Every structure is written in structure tokens, then in C-alpha cells.
Amino acid sequence: MDMSRRTVLERITGRGRPLPVPPAPGTVALTARGLGLRMGGTWLVRDVDLDLTAGRFLAVVGPNGAGKSTLLSLLAGDQPPTSGSVRIGDLAAGEARPAEAARRRAVLPQRAVLSFPFTVADIVAMGRAPWADTGAEEEDEEAIAEALDATGMTAFAHRRYPTLSGGEQARASFARVLAQRTPVLLLDEPTAALDLRHQEQLMVTARACADSGHAVLAVLHDLQLAAAYADEIAVLSAGLLVARGEPEQVLTERLLEEVYQLPIEVFRHPATGAVMVGPRRLGKGTP
């Protein structure tokens, strides 16, 4: 390859640069300051300051239209902000080459749109693309096998993606994220297409990632899952970060009723003491 073509390739991929050093547990892996996005005269997200810490699991909750997915896209560097900035480790998100960003954070979108009949193994292997031509490329086979096993997709490795159910497709996409082996995981409604068993499996795996030193952020609609697995919960309402803290601090009836505009009941599980959250419903037959 001549020097001009090599220079162009390195500018696009970041190849030839030192590999990122994972942040130590307890240190900030991603930070956002004054983050906002305005479209059509409306602020979808505004004035968000947020730190993601290595070894911690942050759940982002809020009603439809609160700006959760928009925030995740801004944090990932996939959407340029109208205001503010994001840094992923040592990298300014808005200035990062795609491969450099992909070595620092992995993103699970709400819906994966694939036009070709890739196998599940092909999909998971895509998570290793950022590490091509680096020392980490030697981990490809191990990373793919571990990701398939962690998501229960090993037996589906040779199945074509379009032949899978919605839940199986979601698990294959999550396996791709795990195979990427990045310090930061950004998951957008990862449990939405899953049945009860696989919701629990995914959340256990995400929790294990945090416990092993990753910084994990998951956008969730299920407040119960957020309370059970997250170290902290951030509540978005109308694009603003209105609360952040440990589940028992944030999940209060007063705050949730204000945000969701619905009567909410918060109580402790009688056996475990865990925080339980749900709509305050009238009994059957009650007028």
C-alpha cells in the first residue's frame, strides 16, 4: 500500500495508534457536560451533565418522549450535539474516528436493521471489526465464543438472522456488543423484545459486565428491572435530567407520579426488602 493510501486509511480507522487503556474501576469512563440537542426549534435533550463510572451500572428511565434514546445517541457520539460535549475516556466523541470510538464504547440500538441474511456468527463477529489489524485481533475467536455463550446463542450461530424471532435477534445483537469488549456499554431498551426469562438473563449479564469493571448504561422502561439491577437510576423528563441516585433514593412515589403522570405505588418486598414499583391499580370490580 502506498503512503498516501495508508495515511487515508489510518485517518479513517485510527489504525497505527496506541490501543485505549481501559479505565480503572471507580474512575470516570465517559463524561457529558451541558449536553443538548435542538431540532425544529424544540430541545429534545437539554443541559445534561452526566458521568459514567467504570464498574457501575446506570439505568436511564422516563416516559415516552423524555429523550432517553436521544441522550444515548449523543453519549455514543452518533449524534452531534447542539450544545455541550462528550468525552469517552481520553477521546472527544465529536472528533473521534469511527474505529477509535468503537474501541471505547459499544452501542446496542433499539432496533437493528440488517438488509442481508447474515448468520448469527457473522453478526457477532461484526463486534470485532474495530480491532482489525491490532494486537486485540488475537482475541476474536474467544470473544465471539464467549458472547454467544453469554447470550444463549451458541446453538443459533449458523442460523440466518432474518429467520430468528424478534427476541432471538435482540440476543444476537447483544452478543455483538459483548464481543466488542469495550470499556463502555450503551444499551437502548435491551429487554424490550425479550420474554421474562431472557430479560433476566440479559440483565444478569449486564450486571456482571459492570461488576467486572465496565461502565454500563441501559435505557429501560421497566422500573422494576432498573431497581433490581442498577447501581444508580437517572430520570429524564421532557429532555431534562430531573433526578439521579441509588434506586431507593430516586424511585419515590412523589417523583414518579410527577414524571409519569400516573398514580404510582412504591414499597419493599416483604421477604427481600427490595424496592418494588408499579402503577397504583384499583382492585377488580372496583368502580
Give me the tens of pLDDT residue by residue for the chain, a chain 287 residues long: 444 434 433 444 445 567 888 899 999 999 999 999 999 999 999 999 999 999 999 999 999 999 999 999 999 999 999 999 999 998 998 787 899 999 999 999 987 777 788 999 999 999 999 999 999 999 999 999 999 999 999 999 999 999 999 999 999 999 999 999 999 999 999 999 999 999 999 999 999 999 999 999 999 999 999 999 999 999 999 999 999 999 999 999 999 999 999 999 999 989 888 889 989 987 665 55
Distances (CA, A) of 136 to 16, 90, 177, 196: 13, 19, 16, 35
The verdict on residue 23 lying in a domain is: yes
* Joined grid coordinates for residue 185: 456499554
Q: What is the pLDDT of residue 112?
A: 73
The answer as to whether 130 is a domain residue is no
Cα 184 to Cα 36, 59, 213, 214, distances in angstroms: 21, 14, 9, 6
Question: Is residue 111 included in any domain, yes or no?
Answer: no
The per-residue pLDDT for 283 is 65
C-alpha distances in angstroms, 232 versus 19, 57, 91? 30, 7, 24
The dihedrals phi and psi of 174, each to the nearest 5 degrees, come to -65, -40
Number of domains in the chain: 1
Q: What is the pLDDT of residue 266?
A: 94
pTM of the model: 0.91
CATH number at residue 285: 3.40.50.300
Residue 266 within any structural domain of the chain: yes
Q: Is residue 189 part of a domain?
A: no
Q: Say if 265 falls within a structural domain.
A: yes
SS (H, E, C) 133-194: CCHHHHHHHHHHHHHHHHCCCHHHCCCEHHHCCHHHHHHHHHHHHHHHCCCEEEEECCCCCC
> 238 is in which domain, residue-wise?
1-54+63-104+222-287
Distances in Å between the alpha carbon of 61 and those of 28, 235, 279? 21, 5, 15
**pLDDT score of 17:** 60
Residue 145 lies in a domain: no
Residue 158 placed within a domain: no
Q: What is the DSSP string of the chain?
A: --HHHHHHHHHHH-TTSPPPPPPPTTSEEEEEEEEEEEETTEEEEEEEEEEEETT-EEEEE--TTSSHHHHHHHHHTSS--SEEEEEETTEEGGG--HHHHHTTEEEE-SS----S--BHHHHHHGGGGGGTTSGGGGGHHHHHHHHHHHTT-GGGTTSBGGGS-HHHHHHHHHHHHHHH--SEEEEESTTTT--HHHHHHHHHHHHHHHHTT-EEEEE-S-HHHHHHH-SEEEEEETTEEEEEE-HHHH--HHHHHHHHTS-EEEEE-TTT--EEEEE-PPPTT--
